[in-house]
Structure formats: structure tokens, C-alpha cells
């Protein structure tokens, strides 16, 4: 959880920072989970996701003066290969989304000229879809994560 999560986000962001400083604007996106302040099921996972969100807020403060935004996104229940394998051929719940839904959230943030306004925020992908008007590949706009509706 820490090497492939927090450490990977930190290392990639640190190495990307000089490239982002050289551009007119930049964006660092980290990936968290959609449980907010709720316990996420086990200590390592919960701690790594909370640390990622905290790191994003800190990066936002340190990078803002250089024109670089840092935003954490919470994808929710995503139909990754691992999730599909867990359903063993059965359809996953309706509130799941494709990985492309998450990618579309990143594109929406990256193309927003005012992205610095949300720097330091932790944004559920469903809320970003609502705000920016994008949909998943099937035209849906899932607002759920792990079976619970997001407050819009």
C-alpha cells in the first residue's frame, strides 16, 4: 500500500515537478478512494489513502505559486480486471464505472483553465462528472462509490 501508493505518488510528483514548472500550467493528480473519513476496511489501505489525500493538500500549497495544481480524485467502485474477476462472470453492480470514467475526470481537470481553484481538493469522480458534464463510456454518470451515494 505504501510503496505502490503513497511513495509512488510522491516520487512521480517530485520527478514531474520540474517539467510542470517549465510549462505554463500543470496538474498533479493522485488517486484515493471514496470513503472520506470512514474506515476503509483495513489499516494499511486506510492509512495509505488518507496519507495520499494529505500529501495532495500539502503539494497544492507548495506548488500553487509555481502555477501547478494538485488534486486527489476518488474513483469509486471501478470495473477493473480484479473487480470483474471477483464477480466471476456475473455483472458487477450498476453503480460501478469503467476505468475510462476516471480518465475522463483527469482530462476534465487537465483542460480546465481554472484548475488552480480546486487545487488541494479531494474530488469524487462522480462529482467531477456532474460538474464538468462528462459521462462514462455507456453514457451513464455514476454518482456512487462502494454502494453509497455521493452528496452533491
Report the catalytic residues.
45
CA distance 101 to 117: 22
Which set of grid coordinates corresponds to residue 67?
502555477
The kind and range of the H/E element at 88 are none
CA distance 96 to 77: 5
CA distance 80 to 44: 21
Considering only the C-alpha atoms of the chain, give the largest distance between any 2 of them, rounded to a whole number of Å: 49
Extended beta strands in 52-133, E state = 68-74, 122-124
First and final C-alpha spacing in the chain: 29
Amino acid at each position: 500500500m505504501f510503496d505502490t501508493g503513497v511513495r509512488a505518488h510522491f516520487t512521480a510528483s517530485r520527478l514531474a515537478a520540474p517539467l510542470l514548472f517549465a510549462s505554463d500550467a500543470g496538474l498533479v493528480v493522485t488517486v484515493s478512494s471514496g470513503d472520506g473519513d470512514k474506515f476503509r476496511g483495513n489499516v494499511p489501505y486506510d492509512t495509505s489513502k488518507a496519507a495520499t489525500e494529505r500529501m495532495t493538500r500539502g503539494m497544492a500549497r507548495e506548488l500553487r505559486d509555481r502555477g501547478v495544481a494538485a488534486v486527489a480524485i476518488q474513483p469509486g467502485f471501478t470495473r477493473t480486471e480484479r473487480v470483474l474477476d471477483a464477480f466471476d462472470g456475473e455483472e458487477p453492480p450498476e453503480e460501478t464505472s469503467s476505468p475510462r470514467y476516471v480518465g475522463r475526470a483527469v482530462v476534465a481537470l487537465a483542460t480546465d483553465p481554472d484548475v488552480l481553484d480546486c487545487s488541494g481538493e479531494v474530488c469524487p469522480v462522480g462529482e467531477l462528472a456532474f460538474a464538468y458534464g462528462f459521462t462514462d463510456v455507456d453514457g451513464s454518470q455514476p454518482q456512487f462509490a462502494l454502494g453509497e451515494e455521493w452528496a452533491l
